[in-house]
């Protein structure tokens, strides 16, 4: 029964685990401890949002099956994952004790152990506790090891992202259609959520940024209940999520006709997006996409409003759709784009006093360019 709840078949999980073992071989790692829900889900299908208060660690030995150490409440979730053994601790026990004991019982407490120092869920407290309890272990940083594998998607993963892209477009359509003079931000948000869910989105936990007027200039903010007035910018950054795979989409609307300043900013963002899409292809450094975006925006006279990188890897979402440790499209980015990497291209402009203006797409890198997964008109909507 539980098997049918998994998002992928056994072949996919075996392939991912073999690929990680090959990388561990190359780096002479006996075991890696994976601390974040995204990497755990990628390798085993273990799925919970209960990672925030109780540490959970996937022990992944090079030559033995993986073992999850988690909170007792999550045992059922571990049982529903792919071929995953589990040791659990009670709510009043110390997770570092449980983890150290599991490593001792596996006979690998004195080996070279990879840990993820850049992953928030390995707290300094847990790390220091582990180092103290396992004085013979050699703890080395392997941040990014699994993230770089995850950056390149399989056909089955891209299928989920395509479904998510359709769901986020449905939410955007409902939200933009609700924009008009006198409507409250709340009513717009209330239209967006059911449209995404009925179009197939699971957990819509990722922030749904819907903000109107000057307050839309705050990055990463929620609606508060503003009633729309003529001239207000309405900024939408939405995601949808199928089996924890996200697609994201940004569009901008205005109540009534836009000012020349807003029109110019919208044109600049749309031009930046077009330039990014035209530039993306396998084999180029990520920084090239940044430069193409920036130059197109600068050509429209809006360079001073572009403070953000041009995009980032997108994929498995538990807390955020951004792939931490994956590809970042910034000025200094050295990563080389590869086929089947998925990116959120974000030529986002911040106009102090006026608000946020942006248009984005979620795309999949191909040998010769990219496929745009999200399909929605790139227009400044006038509501």
Tell me if 187 contacts a second copy by CB under 8 A: yes
Query: DSSP label at 335?
Result: P
The nearer residue to a second copy, 124 or 260, going by C-beta atoms, is 124
Tell me if 191 contacts a second copy by CB under 8 A: yes
Name the one range near a second copy by CB under 8 A: 211-219, 252-260, 336-344, 358-366. Answer: 211-219
Q: Which of 144, 134, 204 is closest to 168 using CA atoms?
A: 204
Which listed residue (72, 133, 263, 281) binds a second copy by CB under 8 A? 72
Query: DSSP label at 271?
Result: H
Tell me if 204 contacts a second copy by CB under 8 A: yes
Which residues does 280 contact at the CB level (< 8 Å), separation at least 6? 289, 337, 343, 345, 363, 365, 369, 370
The nearer residue to a second copy, 42 or 121, going by C-beta atoms, is 121
The nearer residue to a second copy, 15 or 132, going by C-beta atoms, is 132
Other CB atoms within a 10 A radius of the CB of residue 260 amount to: 7
Q: What's the closest the beta carbon of residue 64 comes to a second copy, in angstroms?
A: 25
Which listed residue (15, 27, 104, 125) binds a second copy by CB under 8 A? 125
Tell me if 73 contacts a second copy by CB under 8 A: yes
Tell me if 179 contacts a second copy by CB under 8 A: no
CB-CB contact of 352 with 142 (8 Å): no
Tell me if 208 contacts a second copy by CB under 8 A: yes
Tell me if 115 contacts a second copy by CB under 8 A: yes
d(CA 216, CA 222): 9
d(CA 84, CA 66): 6
Binding to a second copy by CB under 8 A, coded x per residue (else -) over 133-162, reads --------x-x-------------------
The nearer residue to a second copy, 330 or 371, going by C-beta atoms, is 330
Element (H, E) at 99: helix 95-105
Tell me if 293 contacts a second copy by CB under 8 A: no
Q: Which of 282, 236, 44, 248 is closest to 161 using CA atoms?
A: 248
Name the one range near a second copy by CB under 8 A: 8-16, 103-111, 147-155, 197-205. Answer: 197-205
The nearer residue to a second copy, 128 or 278, going by C-beta atoms, is 128
The nearer residue to a second copy, 1 or 260, going by C-beta atoms, is 1
Q: Residue 335 class from Cβ within 10 Å (0-12 exposed, 13-18 middle, 19+ buried)?
A: middle
Q: What's the closest the beta carbon of residue 168 comes to a second copy, in angstroms?
A: 15
Tell me if 368 contacts a second copy by CB under 8 A: no
d(CA 321, CA 307): 20
Tell me if 182 contacts a second copy by CB under 8 A: no
d(CA 152, CA 314): 10
d(CA 192, CA 175): 5
Structure tokens at 236: 């939408």
Name the one range near a second copy by CB under 8 A: 157-165, 251-259, 263-271, 316-324. Answer: 316-324
Name the one range near a second copy by CB under 8 A: 18-26, 60-68, 213-221, 260-268. Answer: 213-221
User: Do β-strands 85-89 and 67-71 pair in parallel, antiparallel, or remain unpaired?
Assistant: parallel
Structure tokens at 240: 């949808």
Which listed residue (20, 59, 102, 119) binds a second copy by CB under 8 A? 119
Which residues does 81 contact at the CB level (< 8 Å), separation at least 6? 6, 44, 45, 46, 47, 68
**Count of residues near a second copy by CB under 8 A:** 74
Which residues does 52 contact at the CB level (< 8 Å), separation at least 6? none
CB-CB contact of 271 with 296 (8 Å): yes
Q: Show contacts with a second copy in window 25-64 (CB under 8 A).
A: 47-50, 52-53
Tell me if 324 contacts a second copy by CB under 8 A: yes
Query: DSSP label at 91?
Result: T
Query: DSSP label at 325?
Result: T
Binding to a second copy by CB under 8 A, coded x per residue (else -) over 242-281, reads ----------------------------------------
The nearer residue to a second copy, 72 or 378, going by C-beta atoms, is 72
Q: What's the closest the beta carbon of residue 309 comes to a second copy, in angstroms?
A: 4
Q: Show contacts with a second copy in window 341-360 (CB under 8 A).
A: 350, 352
């Amino acid at each position: 029964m539980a098997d049918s709840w998994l998002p992928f078949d056994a072949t996919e999980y075996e392939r991912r685990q073999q690929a990680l073992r090959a990388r561990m071989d190359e780096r002479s790692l006996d075991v890696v401890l994976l601390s974040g829900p995204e990497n755990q889900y990628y390798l085993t299908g273990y799925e919970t949002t209960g990672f925030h208060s109780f540490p959970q660690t996937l022990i992944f030995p090079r030559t033995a099956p993986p073992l999850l150490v988690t909170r007792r409440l999550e045992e059922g979730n571990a049982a529903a994952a792919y071929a995953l053994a589990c040791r659990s601790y009670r709510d009043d026990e110390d997770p570092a004790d449980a983890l150290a004991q599991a490593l001792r019982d596996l006979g690998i407490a004195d080996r070279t152990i990879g840990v993820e120092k850049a992953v928030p869920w390995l707290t300094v407290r847990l790390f220091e506790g582990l180092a103290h309890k396992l004085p013979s272990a050699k703890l080395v940083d392997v941040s990014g090891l699994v993230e770089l594998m995850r950056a390149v998607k399989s056909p089955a993963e891209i299928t989920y992202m395509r479904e998510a892209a359709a769901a986020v477009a449905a939410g955007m359509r409902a939200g933009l259609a609700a924009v008009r003079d006198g409507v409250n931000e709340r009513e717009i948000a209330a239209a967006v959520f059911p449209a995404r869910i009925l179009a197939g989105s699971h957990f819509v936990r990722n922030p749904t940024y819907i903000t109107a007027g000057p307050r839309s200039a705050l990055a990463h903010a929620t609606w508060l209940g503003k009633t729309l007035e003529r001239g207000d910018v309405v900024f939408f950054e939405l995601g949808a999520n199928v089996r924890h795979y996200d697609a994201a989409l940004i569009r901008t609307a205005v109540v009534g006709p836009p000012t020349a300043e807003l029109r110019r900013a919208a044109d600049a963002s749309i031009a930046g997006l077009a330039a990014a899409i035209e530039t993306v292809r396998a084999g180029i450094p990520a920084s090239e996409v940044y430069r193409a975006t920036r130059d197109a925006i600068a050509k429209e006279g809006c360079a001073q409003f572009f403070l953000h990188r041009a995009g980032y890897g997108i994929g498995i979402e538990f807390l955020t759709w951004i792939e931490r440790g994956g590809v970042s499209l910034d000025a200094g980015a050295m990563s080389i784009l590869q086929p089947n990497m998925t990116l959120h291209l974000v030529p986002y402009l911040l106009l102090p006093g006026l608000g946020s203006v942006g248009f984005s797409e979620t795309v999949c890198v191909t040998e010769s360019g990219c496929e745009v997964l999200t399909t929605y008109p790139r227009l400044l909507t006038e509501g």
